[in-house]
Amino acid sequence: MKRLSLFCAVMMSMFFAGTADAAATTVTGYVCSAMYTRQNNVGYGQGYVTVQVHNGPGCTGGVVGTYQYLGTGAANTGYQYSEAERLQLFDTARTAATQGTRVNLFIESVGGAIYQTTYSAN
């Protein structure tokens, strides 16, 4: 009987624990490029924005990473932005890329999904 109780306790803890979310992290750099894609992608959703970040302005200093503003229906973990939000985020990121603006992105460390963006003066 004790074995059955122990087994049930372990199974219940596994059932209610769910999958562990990866820790979010902050990356800092300069927007090198921004791309808006309307096409559906299983991981990124129905339309998404991709932002590439470099260590220095003007695409210098090496790549920090490439991150996404997810669209609706995305399988990746992260906030899913509406089309109007994605278009505004794309426009702001495009402007930051052409002006060499510094950016801080709060991202999902595994999927690269962007939760929060802060642009700042150099």
Q: How confident is the model over 9-31, as pLDDT tens digits?
A: 333 333 333 334 567 899 999 99
pTM for the predicted model, two decimal places: 0.77
Assigned domain for 17 exists: no
Closest alpha carbon to 34 in 57, 63, 68, 60: 68
How would you classify the pairing of strands 45-56 and 60-69? antiparallel
Q: How confident is the model over 59-98, as pLDDT tens digits?
A: 999 999 999 999 999 998 888 999 999 999 999 999 999 9
Residue 77: per-residue pLDDT: 84
Assigned domain for 2 exists: no
CATH at residue 42: 2.40.50.110
Q: Which residue has the tokens 């603006």?
A: 101
Assigned domain for 12 exists: no
Give how many domains the chain has, as a whole number: 1
Are 78 and 113 contacting, i.e. CB atoms less than 8 angstroms apart? Answer: yes
Are 102 and 120 contacting, i.e. CB atoms less than 8 angstroms apart? Answer: yes
For residues 58 and 27, give the distance between their C-alpha atoms in angstroms, rounded to a whole number.
Answer: 17
